[in-house]
A and B are shown apart, each in its own frame.
Chain A
Amino acid sequence: MADFLNQPLADDSGSEDDDFNPAPAVESDNDDVGDESDVDGQPVKSEAPQRKVNEDAYDDDDGEPPVKRRAAQNANEDEDANGDEDEDAHGEEDEEGDGEDLGEDDDEEDEEDEEEVQGHRRKRAKRDARLQFIDVEAEVDDEEEEDEAEDDELPDETHPDDLLDTAGAENDDRRHRELDRQRELAASMDAEKQAQALKEKYGRSRGAAADSVVVPQRLLLPSVNDPRIYGVKCKPGKEREVIFSITKRIESKKDSKDPYKIVSAFERGGTSMAGYIYVEAWSKDDVYAVLDNSLYVYPRTKCELIDIKEMPDLLRVQKTKMLEPGMYVRIKKGLYAGDLAQVNEVETNGLQVEVRIVPRLDYGANEDLQSTQHQAGGEKRKRAPGFMTSAATVNRPPQRLFSESEARKKTSRLLQPVSSLSGKTFQYMGDTYVDGFLVKELKIQHLETENVEPTLEEVSKFAAGDNDGTENLDLSALQATLKSKTAAANYLPGDNVEIFQGEQAGIKGKAKTVNGDIVALEVDEGQMKGQTVEAPARILRKRFREGDHVKVIGGSKYQDEVGMVVRIKEDRVTFLSDATNAEVTVFSKDLREAADTGGKVATAKYGITDLVQLDSATVGLVAKIDRETIRVLDQNNNMRTLLPSQIVDTIDTRKKPVATDRDGSEIQVGDLVKEFGGEQKHGEVFHIYRNYIFCAARAHRENMGYFVLRPQNCSVFATATGSKNRGMDLSKMNPELMKNKPPGASMMPPPRPRGPDRLMGKTVSIRRGAYKGLLGRVVDTTDDHARIELMSRKAPLSLPKDYLVVKDPVTGQTIDIGKSTPRRPGPADAGPRYGGHTPMRTPGFNGSSSGGWSGSRTPMGGAASGGRTPAWTGGGDGGRTPGWGGNSGGRTPAWSMSGGGGSRTPGGWGGNDGSRTAYGDGSRTAYGDGGRTAYGGWSGGSRTPATSHGSSGGSYDAGNRTPAWSGGASAPTPSASGYSGSRTPAYQPNSHSSSSLAPPSHGSASNSSNPWATHSAPTPGATTAPTPGAAGAPTPYDAPTPGGFNAPTPGGAMDHPTPRYPGGSGGGHGLGGGGHGLGGGGGAYGTPAASGGGAAAAPTPGGFAAETPGGFAAETPAGFADDDE
């Protein structure tokens, strides 16, 4: 450049004026080099005129538009050029001054002053001179170039060149030189500048468009002269519509007389500025004018002026990160919304991206209906379940790699293998699957590229595609995604670092200080050793040596892994993990020299032995926690290796679960259980979940000692608390389990009587113990005790109910209550049972039971019955009644025993009034009798009579043996009634045997008295049923009956002599007594009875008398005595 400037100057000087040549040259040189200021002196003088000339020249320039226009390229530039020139001149002046200051000493101040003055002139002179020499056009052009280039070099360089050239050169042909100069100019400019110049030239020539292009945006900041911007509230999401409606309005009135005056309007929806539009206008009214009455925008609500300083912020645009293959993005919509995808390929315009996605396919499981529709609906329909539908992602299938076999199962016709090099490419349902991944072209607007933040679990899904199972995780791709996050702020003073980029690449050192992103490192190798160099963190990387012990500090899934460096390749460091002995490769930035050797386990969310939910149907026990994975023993005793993300949650085991082992004992957490059968494993229970027991045994090798048992298949052998008893055995409550057990002691307890205890409020007499004989009133009862207020004592006392006898408060008579009621069968005593049985078998009994109690008193009953029964009356003696009653009563049960009503009827009962009465009577009596006896005599060993009866029965032979007998055990009723009652059936067989004896007596008996007849009638009746024979021959029957009967019963029961009976315990006597008694009872009767008795007595009484009396005597009297009272 210098050359070309030289030449023209030289030319010019040569052509126009030689004198001027040196001056500017020297001047300019002088400006730069202070030393030559002396030289300046000379030419100065000549400058003044030069300047004039120059100015003239300028004027001339103006006067020569054509030339100048061409050079200046722009009319406006002319003015600018002038201005620039002046400025330049001044600038140079200043420079001069500076130069002088630098170059000269203080003693030259004078000169300096002079020069100041001169400088001004010189300036002019220089310009003038230049203008002198340089062609106007060229000169202007030159200026232009300089200005445009914004380069001070040109003028600076010009001067020395000028000097040189002007000094030595004198040229004639100005034109030529100029041409040369321009050519050389062009040649000398390096290509870049040339290009720039060209561009500017053309840019300009093309019009104003390029004007703003070159102006840096910072120079475009708004000023007060610009229109204002108003922010107007609008409906969020409708910004675009508002802008378009404004557009429409503007256009509609654009050519009218009164167009809208707003300048522009814009929106920034989608960013944080949603809900506003911004209108650029000169006044608020203009904004209102255009926005009033438009939809979605509310200028009157809020229309605020935006501060000038904030205006550029409104239009700030953030660069979208350019996607690169391997980076991770998220899908915004559709089935895969939220899923991570890996960029496979980016189209050149950056708008279409091919991504890999882990498919979510159900392989037609839920689409049977739809698939048929597909065929019908054709292509359009096919899209429905396709990719970018807004289908709810709620029930989408899980992410799984594409499986060819599954696809073939149901939807094989939709599957087409695609021949490709990799060989694992399929076309399925309109999508392409490569190596198990769905490969899909997506528009960038459907992808989330910011804040992707892939988790390692997600990333590992993409990494796990390798055949050999090794992970081919592309660390660099991951890093590209994570780039923003892992700002290199993790350098610490002391780290060994290395600069790997830029001019200083290769410098190694130790970080001294870290200040934000700037790391100062002390170089410790090479030439610069010892120096401190500052470098931005991004061009640094950490440096390790083989053998270093390092720890992973972040950014990788190996976080906290510790190991020894074995290999370093660029910024990838491979180390041998201490924990797993596996080689791990990570970025050096993620490493730090390890101070410690252990790493903490990363997944603290789950603890060992936690019970975790794996899916809705599967639970498991955490058996081992590895760095990345968790090993879980599931309920089926399978060990699974899972990522923490595959575990749904821990199962809260705060509630105490219980299970029942095979023995029915309770299993609780902490118990020791033993497997029944199988391996007989035993271990401690850790968890009980539904029907699974998770146990652990240290002795057990498999699955780290954990195993799962079924409760049915194990038994507890030690409980957590050490005691085997833990409340109720649940199995005992299960009737099913009890079904097969023998009925034992634990029979069903007797049902408790309902309602209030009958004893309550009753007047009772105490018949045992210290209070024997005292009367009292029952105030309260329990099951077996009664609380009694004695008449004679204030304080109540509690006595067993057994001690009590209920008395009629008025009469003082004993009342049987409760126990003899059918509802209240007595305890397992023979007595009560007996009492119970008998009445129960007696059909008429129930009826009589309630009402007949009082009547049951023998005397009473006797009287009544006696009164009623004609026979009785006939019989006469009331005293005998009881005896009769006893008799009849005795028979009554027989009746019943004989089988119920049927037999009764025939017996002549039907026709016989009296008999019925007698019967009823009898029953009552018998009852009363029996009951009484039972009660009265029980304690006294009433059984004796029973036995005696039995034994007597024995003497009777068959009769006694009859089940009825034993069952009846009616014995107690010592009285004949009981006896007879039970005997009757028994007799039937008996009767035969005894028939020989009986007939006579019978005959007489029947003949002698009606009652007897009636009696006999029923009896046979009763017996008839079972024993036809007996029926046919009632006589024999009767014979024994009365015989046996009379002897003991009446006698015992009714006759006063009864007491005596016992006394006279001879068989004969007994009979005699009986006979006598009867005889005493009624003459008519007596005879036959006696006779009968006599007849019968022989066999029957023998045994009979022998025993009955004993028992009899003992009690009957007592009972009688009572009753009689």
Chain B
Amino acid sequence: MSATTAYVGPNQQRSLRACMVCSIVQLQGRFMSRGCPNCDDFLGMRGSQDTVSECTSQVFEGLITVADPKTSWVARWQRLDNYVPGVYATKVVGALSEEAIAAAEGAGIKYIPRDGSAQEDEPAA
């Protein structure tokens, strides 16, 4: 795992990006080289600069490091419980493109906007 550590030094934190689907936070280069560990099946970010910038956002806040997604309430609340351990964001600003949403839906993933709009909708639903 050491090769794939989620750790990011303070000097690199400028180039962090968050996946708009699963909210995982990684370096941009990592999105490029490895894609999103959770969503790459349908987003296909690996190797595609455009896709990376389209589906990830530099604007996010509230870092969460999840060690054990299965047992973590935080992960469950954030709907991360089926994702890989790693660093996630509580809020990712930005809107996923229609195609990406469609791709996610096609893969059976219910796209939850991570920009806070989902929670606003909740009480209404």
Interface residues in chain A, defined as those with a beta carbon under 8 Å from any beta carbon in chain B: 199, 202-203, 205-214, 216-218, 220, 222, 226-227, 229, 239-241, 243-248, 250-252, 254-255, 260, 262-271, 280, 311-312, 315-320, 322, 348-351, 443-445
Which of B2, B68, B78, B97 is A349 in contact with, Cβ under 8 Å? Answer: B97
User: In the complex the two chains form, is B59's CB within 8 Å of A210's CB?
Assistant: no
If A263-B68, A266-B65 touch, whether A216 touches B125 (CB-CB below 8 Å) is: yes
- Are A222 and B73 interface neighbours, CB within 8 A? yes
Q: Is the CB of A264 within 8 A of B75?
A: yes
- Find out whether the CB atom of A254 lies under 8 angstroms from the CB atom of B57: no
Pair A246/B65 contact, Cβ less than 8 Å: yes
B65–A220 CB distance below 8 A:
no
Tell me the B37-70 residues at the A interface (CB within 8 Å).
53-54, 57-59, 61-68
Is there an interface contact between B62 and A222, defined as CB atoms closer than 8 Å?
A: no
Chain B residues near A349: list those with CB within 8 A. 20, 53-54, 57, 94-97
Contact in complex: A264, B74 (CB < 8 Å): yes
Separation of A191 and B63 alpha carbons in the complex (Å): 40
Residue pair B73, A227 in contact (C-beta under 8 Å): yes
Let me know if B33 is at the binding interface, CB within 8 A: no
Q: List the A side residues contacting B105 at CB < 8 Å.
A: 199
Measured between beta carbons, the chain B residues less than 8 angstroms from A229 are 73-74
Query: Most A CB atoms within 10 A — which of B62, B65, B125?
Result: B65
Do A243 and B65 touch across chains, with their CB atoms under 8 A apart? yes
Q: Are A264 and B66 in contact (CB under 8 A)?
A: yes
Task: State A316–B122 Cα separation when bound (angstroms).
Answer: 12
> In the complex the two chains form, is B54's CB within 8 Å of A247's CB?
no
Min CB–CB distance B76 → chain A (angstroms): 6
Residue pair A350, B95 in contact (C-beta under 8 Å): yes
CB-based contact A247/B6 at 8 Å: yes
Identify B63's interface contact among A211, A226, A243, A312, CB under 8 A. Answer: A243
The residues of B with any CB-CB pair to A shorter than 8 Å are: 1-2, 5-10, 13, 20, 53-54, 57-59, 61-68, 71-79, 81-83, 85-87, 90-91, 93-97, 105, 107-110, 112, 114-120, 122-123, 125
Give every chain B residue within 8 A of A319 (Cβ-Cβ): 115-117, 119-120
Q: A247-B65, A255-B1, A268-B90 are in contact. Are A315 and B78 (CB under 8 A)?
A: yes
Q: Give the docked Cα–Cα distance between A244 and B13 (Å).
A: 10
CB-defined contacts of B61 to chain A, threshold 8 Å: 268-271
What B residues does A213 contact at CB under 8 A?
79, 109-110, 112
Provide the bound-state CA to CA distance between A169 and B70, in Å: 52
* Pairwise interchain contact A266-B63, C-beta atoms closer than 8 A: yes
With a CB–CB cut-off of 8 A, which chain B residues contact A199? 105, 108
Known contacts A202-B108, A239-B63, A351-B57: A226-B73 contact under CB 8 Å: yes
A216 touches B122 (CB 8 A): yes
User: Are A263 and B71 in contact, CB atoms less than 8 angstroms apart?
Assistant: yes
Q: Tell me the nearest residue of chain A to B122, going by C-beta.
A: A217
Supposing A213-B110, A229-B74 touch, asked if A244 and B58 sit within 8 A by C-beta, the answer is: no
**In the assembled complex, which residues on chain A have CB atoms less than 8 Å from the CB atom of B13?**
240-241, 244
A241 to B12, CA, bound (A): 11
Chain A residues near B79: list those with CB within 8 A: 212-213
* Chain A residues within 8 Å of B115, by CB: 317, 319-320
- Complexed CA–CA distance, A709 and B91 (Å): 65
Contact check, B77 vs A317: say whether CB atoms are below 8 A apart: no
Q: Check A351/B58 contact, CB under 8 A, given A212-B82, A240-B63.
A: yes
Interchain CB contact under 8 A, B94 and A251: no
Name the contact of B93 in the complex, choosing from A250, A271, A351 (C-beta under 8 A): A351
What A residues does B87 contact at CB under 8 A?
Answer: 243-244, 247
With A213-B110, A227-B73 as given contacts, are A266 and B62 in contact (CB-CB < 8 Å)? Answer: yes
| Chain A: minimal CB distance from B8 (Å) | 5
B48 shortest CB reach to chain A, Å:
15
Chain A residue at minimum C-beta to C-beta distance from B106: A202
Known: A266-B90, A318-B116, A350-B93. A248 touches B5 (CB 8 A): yes
Q: A206-B107, A210-B109, A351-B94 are in contact. List 17 more A-B contacts (CB 8 A).
A: A229-B74, A244-B13, A244-B65, A244-B87, A247-B6, A250-B65, A250-B85, A251-B1, A316-B119, A317-B91, A317-B115, A319-B117, A319-B120, A320-B91, A320-B115, A351-B58, A351-B93
Closest chain B CB from A295 CB (angstroms): 10
Residues on B with beta carbons closer than 8 Å to the beta carbon of A266: 62-65, 74, 90
